[in-house]
Amino acid sequence: MTSPSLHTPDAETRLVARVTAELTSLSADARLRVLAKIMALLAPPPVPAAPTVAKAEADSILHFGVWQDERTAEEIIADIYAARTENPRPLLDEL
C-alpha cells in the first residue's frame, strides 16, 4: 500500500486541519514560538550586500594617515619640528 502524496488537495487539507487543531491546543506564547519558526522557514535566506564604492572609500579613509610607531606623540611632534627647514623661496607677497 502506498502512502498518499502530501501534494494532493485532500492531504493538504487534512494537514492544515491537524496543524490548526494542534496550534489551538497550545498556549498563546507557544503558538507565537511555533509561528515564528514557521515564518523563519518560509523566509528566503538573507543575501549579503555587495560592498559599495562608498563603503570601500570610507574604509580606506579610516586608515588614511595611520601608522604604527613606538614613539610617544610628544616625540613624534618633536621630530616633525626638528625636521623643518626654512624655505629659501620668497613668499608670494614678498615678490
Do 59 and 52 form a contact (C-beta atoms < 8 A)? no
Q: What is the C-alpha to C-alpha distance for residues 29 and 65, in angstroms, rounded to an integer? A: 54
Q: What is the C-alpha to C-alpha distance for residues 86 and 77, in angstroms, rounded to an integer? A: 17
What is the DSSP secondary-structure string of 54-70?
Answer: HHHHHHHHHTTT----S
Q: What is the pLDDT of residue 6?
A: 59
> Of 3-12, 13-22, 43-52, 69-78, where does mean pLDDT reach its minimum?
3-12
Tens of pLDDT, residues 27-81: 999 999 988 998 888 888 888 877 676 777 777 777 777 777 889 999 999 998 8
The amino acid that residue 43 corresponds to is A
Q: What is the C-alpha to C-alpha distance for residues 81 and 68, in angstroms, rounded to an integer? A: 20
Q: What is the pLDDT of residue 95?
A: 58
